[in-house]
Amino acid sequence: MVIMNFLQFAVWGAYLTSMGNYLGSIGLGPKIGLFYAMQGIVSIFMPAILGIVADRWIPAQRLLGICHAIAAIFIISAGYYGMNMGAEAEFGTLFSLYSISVAFYMPTIALSNSVAYGVLTNNGYDTIKAFPPIRTMGTVGFICAMLFVNFAGTPDGQFGLNFSNQNDFPSFQNSYSQFFVSGALGLMLFFYSFTLPKVAVVNSGEKRTLYDALGLKAFSLFKDKKMAIFFIFSMFLGVSLQITNGYANPFITSFKEIPEYANTWGANNANALISLSQVSETLCILLIPFVLRKFGIKKVMLMAMFAWFLRFALFGVGNPGTGVWMFVLSMIVYGIAFDFFNVSGSLFVDKETDKSIRSSAQGVFMMMTN
């Protein structure tokens, strides 16, 4: 389970925070938002559809591997297209290849959780105690992939490694190579999935309408004023998250155009700097049980909202030179901004919704934050 979670999020970490840099370098900067929006669009329906398949026909661990294989093939194809076309890469082709890849990747987040819960339960473990440390390894995988993409170089456009002169050897974070890294990790998880313990297919035979199967009943929660306000604020904080994912790296890297900051470590190693956010996230996950007991869900979520304000304020006044400490502090604050809302929000949904639509309600929460 540890290896599965490590690879699951390493696949994503290879490009999630650095793709905007690459898109900007080939003239697709104005389209960055569309690439990141596609993750939310496919999250509306793909997890539900593949969840039904896993429940009824294909074991979850096998479907997890199949999805990663398909996602890997298309993200590698996107990288190959980018390699051949260079700055002439067309939005339509690159976006289509990426979209198909992410359509099969996003459902694997839920599938990997299902596999982990199933295996732990079958072996008599308490999932509440056993799963968090396993999930933490996913964040470690995300960090490792980010750092590799930051420091691995592509001299003359060919694969190679360079950990010294970043000006002569641009890192993968600025090129199509990050897609190859993601695809390679995805194929590794595809092969590894065949070694995972089997999670039984459950088919109760109960007749359910497509409306029920896709979890659309959960949208009735918007009739409840309290839940409607919560979901709307989830969307606003989700916007903040996607701005961070899509534009933090290009923003920090853009300082290289200013002579004063051109040779600073921060401006040339944006991905490594941003990886501190994931380190903070890992540590803050461990704090959640304590702060929830001490302050309660509402106050913890308010802390997260204020932390988002601080994150962007520190970005606004900082720089990668003498003000790099503000960037570092912004990364540290991210752990509170992300974890305190997403984890506490998930618990809030679990507490406030009926058991019959609880899983679907969590799906709505995921959709709103993406």
pLDDT in tens, 125-137: 776 677 777 878 8
pLDDT at 151 over 90: no
- CA dist., res. 370 & res. 364, Å (int): 10
pLDDT at position 245, please? 81
Same domain for 136 and 28, yes or no, is yes
- Structural domain that includes position 229: 217-370
Domain-ending residue, one of 206, 232, 249: 206
Count of domains in the chain? Answer: 2
- CA dist., res. 304 & res. 366, Å (int): 17
Same domain for 231 and 170, yes or no, is no
- DSSP for residue 366: H
- As given in the structure block, the two tokens for residue 224 are 């409840």
> Could you tell me which of 8, 11, 3, 16 has the C-alpha nearest to residue 275?
16
The CA angle 7-363-68, to the nearest 5 degrees, is 25
Same domain for 223 and 202, yes or no, is no
Q: Flag whether 289 is in a domain.
A: yes
Same domain for 251 and 360, yes or no, is yes
The helix-helix angle for 225-253 and 270-295 (nearest 10°) equals 150
Query: What kind and span of H or E run contains 297?
Result: helix 297-317
Q: Flag whether 18 is in a domain.
A: yes
Amino acid at position 276, single letter: L
Q: Flag whether 229 is in a domain.
A: yes
Confidence label for 356 from pLDDT (cuts 50, 70 and 90) = low
DSSP labels, 137-152:
HHHHHHHHHHHHHHH-
Confidence label for 360 from pLDDT (cuts 50, 70 and 90) = low
- CA dist., res. 82 & res. 87, Å (int): 8
- As given in the structure block, the two tokens for residue 288 are 């959640």
Mean pLDDT of 149-157: 65
The helix-helix angle for 270-295 and 297-317 (nearest 10°) equals 150
Domain-ending residue, one of 172, 206, 240: 206
Same domain for 198 and 320, yes or no, is no
Domain-ending residue, one of 141, 176, 206: 206
Same domain for 197 and 227, yes or no, is no
Same domain for 58 and 173, yes or no, is yes
Lowest mean pLDDT among 52-56, 86-90, 91-95, 234-238: 52-56
- As given in the structure block, the two tokens for residue 154 are 């592509």
pLDDT at position 355, please? 64
Q: Which pairs from 347-353 meet CB under 8 Å and 24+ separation?
A: 347/292, 347/297, 348/230, 348/297, 348/301, 349/230, 351/297, 352/226, 352/227, 353/218, 353/221, 353/227
Q: Flag whether 211 is in a domain.
A: no
Mean pLDDT of 102-114: 86
pLDDT at 67 over 70: yes
Q: How far apart are the first and last CA of the chain?
A: 25
- As given in the structure block, the two tokens for residue 80 are 């190959």
Q: Return the half-sphere exposure (C-beta side, CA atoms, 13 A cut-off) of residue 295.
A: 16
Same domain for 95 and 223, yes or no, is no
Q: Looking at residue 140, which CATH number applies to its domain?
A: 1.20.1250.20
- CA dist., res. 43 & res. 220, Å (int): 19
Q: Are 168 and 188 in contact (CB under 8 A)?
A: no
Same domain for 196 and 286, yes or no, is no
- CA dist., res. 362 & res. 221, Å (int): 11
Q: Return the half-sphere exposure (C-beta side, CA atoms, 13 A cut-off) of residue 148.
A: 22
Q: Flag whether 335 is in a domain.
A: yes
**70 φ, ψ (degrees, to nearest 5):** -65, -45
Q: Flag whether 261 is in a domain.
A: yes
Contacts of 152 (CB under 8 A, 6+ apart): 161, 162, 171, 172, 177, 181
Same domain for 239 and 202, yes or no, is no
Confidence label for 4 from pLDDT (cuts 50, 70 and 90) = very high
Same domain for 199 and 225, yes or no, is no
pLDDT at 119 over 90: no
Q: Flag whether 66 is in a domain.
A: yes
3-state helix, strand, coil in the chain (%, to 5): 80, 0, 20
Same domain for 349 and 231, yes or no, is yes
Amino acid at position 83, single letter: M
DSSP labels, 78-122:
HHHHHHHHGGG--HHHHHHHHHHHHHHHHHHHHHHHHHHHHHHHH
Q: Flag whether 212 is in a domain.
A: no
pLDDT at position 71, please? 97
> Any bridge partners for residue 171, and if so which?
153
What is the SS3 assignment for 57? coil
Amino acid at position 59, single letter: P
